[in-house]
Amino acid sequence: MLGFNALVSIALLYGAFLFSVAFAAERRAAQGRDGWLRSPWIYTLSLSIYCTAWTFYGAVGYAARSGLEYLTIYLGPSLVMIGWWWLLRKLVRIGRAQRITSIADLVSSRFGKSSLLGVIVTLLAVVGVTPYIALQLQSIAQSLDVFAARGEGGWTARDGGSAALWSAVGLALFTILFGTRNLDSNERHHGIVMAIAVEAVVKLGALVGLGIYVVWGLGGGVSDMLARLDASPIAAWEQSGGRWIGFTLLSAGAFLCLPRMFQVLVVENADESHLATASWAFPLYLALMSLFVVPIAVTGLDILPAGTNPDMFVLTVPLSQGRDGLAVWAFLGGFSSAASMVMVATIALATMMSNHIIVPMWLRSRRGGAMMAGDVRAMVLTARRASILGVLGLGYLYFRLSGGGTALASIGLVAFVGVVQVLPALVGGLFWRGATRGGAATGLLLGFAVWFWAMFLPSVGDGTAIPAGVMQAGPFGIDFLRPQALFWTGGLDPVLHAALWSLALNVAGFVAVSLASFPGPVERLQGAQFVGVFELSEGPGSWARGAADAEPLLVMAQRIIGAPEAQAIFASHAALQGKEGRLPDVTPEFIRALERELAGSVGAATAHAMIGQMTEGVSVSVEDLIAVADETAQIMEYSNRLEQKSAELGRTAAALREANAKLTALSVQKDGFLSQISHELRTPMTSIRAFAEILRDDGLDEAEQERFAGIIGDEAGRLTRLLDDLLDLSVLEAGQGLLDLRPTSLGGVVDRALDAALPLRDGLGLHRDPELDRLEVVTDPDRLAQVFINLIANARKYCDAPRPELRIVWNPAVHAVDFIDNGSGIRPDQGRVIFEKFSRLSDAGKAGGAGLGLAICREIMTRLGGGIRYLPGQGGGVFRVELPPSPTSETR
Amino acid sequence: MARRVLLIEDEPNIIEAVSFILSRDGWTVHTHSDGLSAVERVRAHPPDLVILDAMLPGRSGFDILQELRGDPATRTLPVMMLTARGQARDRDLAMRLGATHFMTKPFSNAEVLDRVRALANG
């Protein structure tokens, strides 16, 4: 008979074995011999962390309690793998393109790199998954208790608790060792994935082995077993259709949203094509896992005394027959299920916590301080390790506090409904461009709140978190807020009830707020890149790392730095690599060297973006675009100072050609915003390039040279202003930048604006309300003047009266300054549109601006706490600038 | 020999650049910067070649092109579209409407010159 020491020794030996497997895998990966580590089979096996201790032990228990319903837990993921592979493929593609590190990162990136969404998803995941981790620790403790209960080997059931503690410590060490060895940008962990793959085989072997024993060893073969099944109470269980469908969909959603599943599905994915194998192999794995569940459950109910915990049938059935070897194997299978789930879930949660909460807080706390790269790296690693300890600590704490009494399956369902709240934002974000940050945040918070109230709190235990009175009558007697009968929908299954209401409100909030709000520029760009990820990247092969050939790189380099120079560089690198020909291998060193060479002539950002696009197929972000155009403008201003034609102008033209090629590439993207930016940038660049070329030619007299250089300067200035506007707008939209609020004379601001927009007071008759001089408001004078300047300049540009006039009038009734001109105004249906970006009313380019002015005005006034509106039907153009109801005082 | 080019464009600096390049090469360049009256202008003083911007005040260059092609008097007049809208679908649209050539901004001066010579003489 097996004693405590023997069992613990076996567990420790198994742990050491996993350790050496992980270690060997890491070493192979470090040496670059990771070919078979990246096989689709390893990927498929790593997905098996879906089968936690909950499915390993709990499925049998579930079957013994509720019949075949346990199958829904396997059906959901199988449906996802087989039927939703297109969604998975999109997830994986985006994960690679955007270097996504976690599901929180994905949601945050999609909605304009919103830090708020990152925090919300992280918190949701921590609250939802902590009980799930506790569940794993509990299963280890329980399984040890089963062995202890036989009273042999001199140990007692109480040791289970300390076993949970030591397991937690051991898992934390293992996870820290292999989960935070390096800070790779793509966050892959070969060692841990390999260990999981081994564990996947062990747990499948354990269940199948036990199943074979039960069917052929105990049951007398398949036909006898079928007869037993018919006779058992399981066959007689009534199945509820609603629960079947509900649970299947729930587990399908959770499969996508569980942080650990996202980690192995997307983050650890080495190759998109692995999905093809996994899409049939993983459902097969799940089918094998579930094949013998019912026979084991039936046998347990048959041969074990009534009242035996069915969650532990996997151990108690072989033990009751004296099959210690089989029982130990099953124990190792259960241990594997628990350990692999805990490791990956912890890594995923720790990545989210450190990336979205700890590191941002730390960076903010030392804003302005000098920062070294190594400094941040050490900090991130420490944060990651601390998060791992924190997550496991929380799991252990929950295990101790909850007393480990609840049935395994119910905790799992609580976690499922919790994480599934991310699904609307995730799927909406992938397929709906109109989804906005506000919508995602609203949906998530609503769903989270309902889940917390209707499911999480009640799950802690009857009367523990929510008093029994509140459960019965609702908080403060508000009966439609009863946790398990929201809006008078009592009588539903509690899980379905919570899932239904939380998801319904989540989706409703998400859609409604998305429809009502406008995405910012970064958000819109990210949206386009996520939704259109397949249009942006051509062939399926374009994502393989380092896929660039030397040939196209040479072509590009020749275009930028000239053919002889480029060929010399390539040839010298080929010689350095000891190669015969003129083309070197495209090694990382070579790419870096080439990038440096190119950066010398087109600027670092352009070089980086171009190389990135050619070698990794990385799509271009708006930041890249702005950086590229910025460089162009700088180069232009620099060359503008040169009075004579020179080599610099040649380089400038080359840089402009490249920027133009880039813009052409970008304009292929269908996103209207980008093509607008592209169009707006091209117009000044056209003049700059044309005159730069003219200046290079001979035969210009000095006056012409001066004049053309002047035009180049003007247009470079226009380019810069456009970029400033874009940046200004994105800063405002991101809610960054400080306001300089102080008591300000409104009249003074109006005068400043008039001086800037109308220095000669020409071309526009003016009537300026003297009342303005008597008013003082608390505001940011520079920002307010910016708004006024825009309105005055617009009146001057667009007012179509024969003798244009502008009246600037204080309107005390609405606490606003009205700008009234005598033109024909704006068509009524366009009154709202004009505040959108790039919304010049006619496609006439009379404006000279980019159509960003009023969008900026709107953002500024929103930040100042007021507003700006166009008033229709006033017999002229009327813009009303509403000031916040701050204490306005009159000065004399 | 054909020597008259009509440039329909509303950006003053681009007008100046194109005029300079072509005048230096011996062309007579007329300019027109309003979309609404552009077709009348072409009919009133038919040039040998039209360079047409796409985004004009009052009326789009594509519209103007379409009307020119619908009129037997201007059906074969060489029209070169010169536009900052460089997307493939803009090019397709221009060619379908009957543009003789399509060129994107920013352009190379030499290329514009070559094209103008080829179109007006051909």
User: What is the full DSSP assignment across B20-43?
Assistant: HHHHHTT-EEEEE--STTHHHHHH
Q: Does residue A465 lie within any of the structural domains?
A: no
Contacts of A693 in chain B (CB under 8 A): 108-110
Q: Which of B60, B107, B108 comes nearest A843 by C-beta?
A: B60
Q: What is the pLDDT of residue A660?
A: 63
Average the pLDDT over each of A332-346, A463-477, A717-731 and give the range with the smallest value.
A463-477
In this structure, the strands spanning A878-882 and A816-821 are antiparallel
Give the sheet arrangement for strand A867-871, strand by strand. Answer: A765-768, A805-811, A816-821, A878-882, A867-871
Q: What is the pLDDT of residue B8?
A: 95
The reply to whether omega before B106 is within 30° of 0 (cis) is yes
Number of independent structural domains in chain B: 1
B86 touches chain A (CB under 8 A): yes
B39 touches chain A (CB under 8 A): no
Q: Which of A660, A694, A844 comes nearest B17 by C-beta?
A: A694
Please enumerate in sequence order all residues whose Cβ is within 8 A of that of A92, keeping only pairs 6 or more positions apart, or say none.
A265, A266, A269, A272, A275
The verdict on A198 and A68 lying in the same domain is yes
- In chain B, the percentage of residues whose pLDDT exceeds 90 is 61
The verdict on A66 and A95 lying in the same domain is yes
Is residue A635 within 8 Å of residue A651, measured between CB atoms? Answer: yes
φ and ψ at residue A745, rounded to 5 degrees: -80, 125
Contact criterion met (CB < 8 Å) for B105 and A685: yes
- DSSP notation for A95-142: HHHTT--SHHHHHHHHTTS-HHHHHHHHHHHHHHHHHHHHHHHHHHHH
Average the pLDDT over each of A507-521, A807-821, B11-25 and give the range with the smallest value.
A507-521
Which contiguous run of DSSP H or E holds residue B64? Answer: helix B61-70
Number of independent structural domains in chain A: 4
Burial degree of B26 (CB within 10 A; 0-12, 13-18, 19+): exposed
Q: How confident is the model at residue A477 (pLDDT cuts 50, 70, 90)?
A: low
The verdict on A760 and A631 lying in the same domain is no
The nearest CA of chain A is from the CA of B2 a distance in Å of: 24
B113 touches chain A (CB under 8 A): no
d(CA A316, CA A339): 21
- pLDDT of residue B7 exceeding 90, the answer is yes
B58 touches chain A (CB under 8 A): yes
Please give the interface size between A and B, counted as residue pairs whose CB atoms are below 8 Å apart: 81
Contact criterion met (CB < 8 Å) for A714 and B35: no
Interface of A with B (CB under 8 A): 656, 660, 663-664, 667-668, 675, 678-679, 682-683, 685-691, 693-694, 711, 714-715, 842-846
Contact criterion met (CB < 8 Å) for A714 and B105: no
Contacts of B58 in chain A (CB under 8 A): 842, 844
State the average pLDDT over residues A565-594: 78
Q: How confident is the model at residue A106 (pLDDT cuts 50, 70, 90)?
A: confident
Helix (H, G, I), strand (E, B) or coil at A764: coil
Q: Which residue of A has its CA nearest to B89?
A: A668
Q: Which is more confidently placed, A18 or A631? A: A18
φ and ψ at residue A186, rounded to 5 degrees: -95, 5
**Residue among A811, A797, A724 at smallest CA distance from A758:** A797
Please enumerate in sequence order all residues whose Cβ is within 8 A of that of A162, keeping only pairs 6 or more positions apart, or say none.
none
Q: What is the pLDDT of residue A254?
A: 86
Contact criterion met (CB < 8 Å) for A845 and B56: yes
Contacts of B88 in chain A (CB under 8 A): 668
The verdict on A177 and A69 lying in the same domain is yes
Contact criterion met (CB < 8 Å) for A667 and B58: no
Helix (H, G, I), strand (E, B) or coil at A158: coil
Mutation target for B interface from A671, A681, A687: give the one with most B CBs within 10 A. Answer: A687
Q: Does residue A292 lie within any of the structural domains?
A: yes
Q: What is the pLDDT of residue B39?
A: 93
Contacts of B17 in chain A (CB under 8 A): 686-687, 690-691, 694, 711
φ and ψ at residue A775, rounded to 5 degrees: -110, 135
Contact criterion met (CB < 8 Å) for A685 and B57: no
Q: How confident is the model at residue A546 (pLDDT cuts 50, 70, 90)?
A: very low
Q: How does pLDDT run across A179-197, given as a tens digit for each residue?
A: 776 555 455 677 888 888 8
d(CA B58, CA B80): 20
Contacts of A686 in chain B (CB under 8 A): 11, 14, 17, 84, 105-107
In this structure, the strands spanning A816-821 and B28-32 are unpaired
Token representation of residue A9: 């020794």
Q: Which residue of A has its CA nearest to B86?
A: A664
Helix (H, G, I), strand (E, B) or coil at A746: helix
ipTM of the complex: 0.92
Q: Does residue A107 lie within any of the structural domains?
A: yes
B40 touches chain A (CB under 8 A): no
State the average pLDDT over residues A299-310: 78
Long-range contact pairs involving A81-86 (C-beta distance under 8 Å, separation at least 24): A81/A278, A81/A279, A81/A280, A81/A282, A81/A283, A82/A279, A82/A280, A82/A283, A84/A252, A84/A256, A85/A275, A85/A276, A85/A279
**Residue among A640, A639, A636, A642 at smallest CA distance from A659:** A636
Rounded to a whole number of angstroms, the CA Rg of chain A reads 33
Q: How does pLDDT run across A617-660, given as a tens digit for each residue?
A: 544 454 555 555 555 555 554 444 444 445 555 556 666 666 66
Is residue A214 within 8 Å of residue A299, measured between CB atoms? Answer: yes
Contacts of A668 in chain B (CB under 8 A): 87-88
Q: Which domain does A126 fall in, by range?
A: 4-25+37-407
Q: Does residue A854 lie within any of the structural domains?
A: yes
CATH number, residue A266: 1.20.1730.10
The verdict on A11 and A73 lying in the same domain is yes
- pLDDT of residue A536 exceeding 50, the answer is no
Last-in-domain residue among A586, A616, A646? A616
Contact criterion met (CB < 8 Å) for A686 and B105: yes
The verdict on A210 and A353 lying in the same domain is yes
The verdict on A188 and A108 lying in the same domain is yes
Contact criterion met (CB < 8 Å) for A686 and B60: no
Contacts of A714 in chain B (CB under 8 A): 13
Q: What is the pLDDT of residue A582?
A: 77
- pLDDT of residue A228 exceeding 50, the answer is yes
Query: Amino acid letter at A299?
Result: T
Contacts of A682 in chain B (CB under 8 A): 84, 86, 104-106
**Residue among A683, A708, A676, A542 at smallest CA distance from A615:** A542
State the sign of the Cα–Cα–Cα–Cα dihedral A704, A708, A713, A718: positive
d(CA A570, CA A554): 7
Distance of CA A310 to the CA centre of its chain: 40
Contacts of A675 in chain B (CB under 8 A): 85, 87
Contact criterion met (CB < 8 Å) for A690 and B109: yes
Rounded to a whole number of angstroms, the CA Rg of chain B reads 13
Q: Does residue A801 lie within any of the structural domains?
A: yes
Mutation target for B interface from A658, A668, A843: give the one with most B CBs within 10 A. Answer: A843
Q: What is the pLDDT of residue A432?
A: 81
d(CA A160, CA A142): 7
The nearest CA of chain B is from the CA of A686 a distance in Å of: 4
Q: Which residue of B has its CA nearest to A715?
A: B13
Q: What is the pLDDT of residue A368?
A: 43
Please enumerate in sequence order all residues whose Cβ is within 8 A of that of A72, keeping only pairs 6 or more positions apart, or say none.
A243, A244, A247, A248, A250, A251
Q: Which of A690, A691, A844 comes nearest B57 by C-beta?
A: A844
Q: How confident is the model at residue A847 (pLDDT cuts 50, 70, 90)?
A: very low
pTM of the model: 0.55
Average the pLDDT over each of A26-30, A158-162, A347-351, A798-802 and give the range with the smallest value.
A158-162
Q: Which residue of A has its CA nearest to B103?
A: A686
Q: Which domain does B71 fall in, by range?
A: 4-121
B72 touches chain A (CB under 8 A): no
The verdict on A110 and A183 lying in the same domain is yes
d(CA A591, CA A127): 44
B106 touches chain A (CB under 8 A): yes
Instruction: State the CB neighbour count (10 A cutoff) for residue A463.
Output: 12
Mean pLDDT (chain B) is 89
Q: Which is more confidently placed, A496 or A844? A: A496
**Residue among A335, A349, A456, A331 at smallest CA distance from A392:** A349
The verdict on A763 and A852 lying in the same domain is yes
Query: Amino acid letter at A111?
Result: F
**Residue among A47, A77, A411 at smallest CA distance from A199:** A47
Q: What is the pLDDT of residue A856?
A: 87
The nearest CA of chain A is from the CA of B17 a distance in Å of: 6
Q: Does residue A417 lie within any of the structural domains?
A: no
Contact criterion met (CB < 8 Å) for B17 and A715: no
Q: What is the pLDDT of residue B52?
A: 94
What one-character DSSP code corresponds to residue A741?
Answer: -
Query: Amino acid letter at B101?
Result: H
Q: How does pLDDT run across B50-104, given as a tens digit for each residue?
A: 999 988 888 889 999 999 999 999 999 999 999 887 777 888 899 999 999 999 8
Q: How does pLDDT run across A276-289, given as a tens digit for each residue?
A: 888 888 889 988 88
Q: How does pLDDT run across A375-385, given as a tens digit for each residue?
A: 556 677 788 88
Helix (H, G, I), strand (E, B) or coil at A822: coil
The verdict on A18 and A90 lying in the same domain is yes
Q: What is the pLDDT of residue B22?
A: 93
Instruction: Scan for tokens 């991101």, then name that residue.
Output: A734
d(CA A338, CA A666): 48
Contact criterion met (CB < 8 Å) for A845 and B20: no
Q: What is the pLDDT of residue A408?
A: 52
Q: What is the pLDDT of residue A400?
A: 76
Q: Does residue A478 lie within any of the structural domains?
A: no
Contacts of A671 in chain B (CB under 8 A): none
State the sign of the Cα–Cα–Cα–Cα dihedral A187, A190, A191, A197: positive
Q: How confident is the model at residue A414 (pLDDT cuts 50, 70, 90)?
A: confident
Mutation target for A interface from B109, B112, B113, B116: give the one with most A CBs within 10 A. Answer: B109
d(CA A485, CA A470): 11
Q: What is the pLDDT of residue A520?
A: 62
Q: What is the pLDDT of residue A18?
A: 82
The verdict on A693 and A841 lying in the same domain is no
- pLDDT of residue A521 exceeding 60, the answer is no
- pLDDT of residue A7 exceeding 80, the answer is no
Q: What is the pLDDT of residue A625?
A: 53
Q: Which residue of B has its CA nearest to A713?
A: B13
Q: Does residue A65 lie within any of the structural domains?
A: yes
d(CA A53, CA A56): 5
Please enumerate in sequence order all residues whose Cβ is within 8 A of that of A683, keeping only pairs 6 or more positions apart, or say none.
A845, B11, B14, B84, B105
Widest pairwise Cα distance in chain A: 108
φ and ψ at residue A377, rounded to 5 degrees: -60, -50
φ and ψ at residue B41, rounded to 5 degrees: -60, -45
Token representation of residue A239: 């199945």
Q: Which of A668, A679, A846 comes nearest B84 by C-beta?
A: A679
Contact criterion met (CB < 8 Å) for B85 and A714: no
Q: Which residue of A has its CA nearest to B108?
A: A690
CATH number, residue B79: 3.40.50.2300
Is residue A700 within 8 Å of residue A694, measured between CB atoms? Answer: yes
Q: Which residue of B has its CA nearest to A846?
A: B57
d(CA A720, CA A633): 7
State the average pLDDT over residues A586-595: 74
Q: Which of A668, A686, A689 comes nearest B88 by C-beta?
A: A668
φ and ψ at residue B114, rounded to 5 degrees: -55, -45
Contact criterion met (CB < 8 Å) for A690 and B85: no
The verdict on A142 and A163 lying in the same domain is yes
Q: Which is more confidently placed, A645 or A499? A: A499
Helix (H, G, I), strand (E, B) or coil at A867: strand
Q: What is the pLDDT of residue A661?
A: 62
d(CA A609, CA A625): 9
Average the pLDDT over each of A250-259, A563-572, A670-679 and give the range with the smallest value.
A670-679
Q: How confident is the model at residue A838 (pLDDT cuts 50, 70, 90)?
A: low
Contact criterion met (CB < 8 Å) for A682 and B88: no
Q: Which residue of A has its CA nearest to B21?
A: A694
Is residue B7 within 8 Å of residue B19, measured between CB atoms? Answer: yes
Is residue B26 within 8 Å of residue B15, measured between CB atoms? Answer: no
Q: Which of B21, B86, B106 comes nearest A656 by C-beta?
A: B106
- pLDDT of residue A2 exceeding 50, the answer is yes
